[in-house]
Amino acid sequence: AQSVTQPDIHITVSEGASLELRCNYSYGATPYLFWYVQSPGQGLQLLLKYFSGDTLVQGIKGFEAEFKRSQSSFNLRKPSVHWSDAAEYFCAVGPGGGADGLTFGKGTHLIIQP
Amino acid sequence: DSGVTQTPKHLITATGQRVTLRCSPRSGDLSVYWYQQSLDQGLQFLIQYYNGEERAKGNILERFSAQQFPDLHSELNLSSLELGDSALYFCASSVGGTTEAFFGQGTRLTVV
């Protein structure tokens, strides 16, 4: 069965510092990988996706993620965080956009210190 | 704004009752998905419809059912509600089954 592990429940980063959120997945076939962000009281917004091709993908809001098949990882990075990045971040895996549905990790709560 | 519209935004109801959540997908999207988000279970896939037909089922309880209508909007019906059904219910839509899904703002259901 497919699964997603986000090892860090909470991460605190100073504003302007770099960020890396970890995501490890287990999937039997070639995975489609996603990062979503959820602000308090809001829905999930797609940050970026990996379907195939270049393993370094760029997303919105200055985020990027790198797919490493050998490590079954899809870590999210940002070189310099802003206070508005404080939110819950979810990594997800699935066949395409949702056939059989996405499997989500438990999420990482990002706190930004001034 | 993702273009996916969910109504109502909030719903409070009593145990044993039945409610219907509604979702309008983005224009042109044929697939609709329903997810449940709770503190203990996280985000869980419930069910997917594609162009009116059920396409995939996840961890959906027998007390729950869904349908997608000819105009592609979808409804999630939750019956015999229990306290544990209190959660945020999300609808998402995509063009097909192999493209990214866009999520609505969710319906927060509180069962008292």
Tens of pLDDT, residues A2-21 = 899 999 999 999 999 999 99
A40 pLDDT exceeds 90?
no
CA distance B60 to B11: 20
Confidence bin at A101 (pLDDT 50/70/90): confident
Q: Do B103 and A43 touch (CB under 8 A)?
A: yes
* A18-45 average pLDDT score: 91
Q: Do B101 and A103 touch (CB under 8 A)?
A: no
A92 pLDDT exceeds 80?
yes
Percentage of chain A lying above the pLDDT 70 cut: 95
Considering only residues A95 and B29, tell me which one the structure prediction assigns the higher pLDDT: B29
Alpha-carbon dihedral sign for residues B30, A29, A7, B39: positive
* B12-23 average pLDDT score: 98
Confidence bin at B32 (pLDDT 50/70/90): very high
CA distance B45 to B98: 16
The pLDDT assigned to A67 comes to 95
- Nearest chain A residue to B99 by CA: give it: A97
Which member of A32, A49, A98 has the closest CB to residue B92?
A: A98
Residues paired with A111 in a beta bridge:
A12
CA distance A9 to A95: 25
* B78-93 average pLDDT score: 97
Tens of pLDDT, residues A54-83 = 899 999 999 999 999 999 999 999 999 999
Asked if B45 reaches chain A (Cβ–Cβ under 8 Å), the answer is: yes
Alpha-carbon dihedral sign for residues B48, B52, B55, B59: positive
Confidence bin at A51 (pLDDT 50/70/90): confident
Alpha-carbon dihedral sign for residues A59, B106, A31, A91: positive
Which member of B4, B97, B104 has the closest CB to residue A97?
A: B97
**DSSP of B74-96, one letter per residue?**
EEEEE-S--GGG-EEEEEEEESS
A96 pLDDT exceeds 90?
no
Chain B residues 54-73 with CB within 8 Å of chain A: 55-56, 58
The pLDDT assigned to A112 comes to 96
A85 pLDDT exceeds 60?
yes
The reply to whether omega before A40 is within 30° of 0 (cis) is no
Which residues does chain A have within 8 Å of residue B43's beta carbon, measured at their own beta carbons? Answer: 90, 92, 104, 107
Confidence bin at B88 (pLDDT 50/70/90): very high
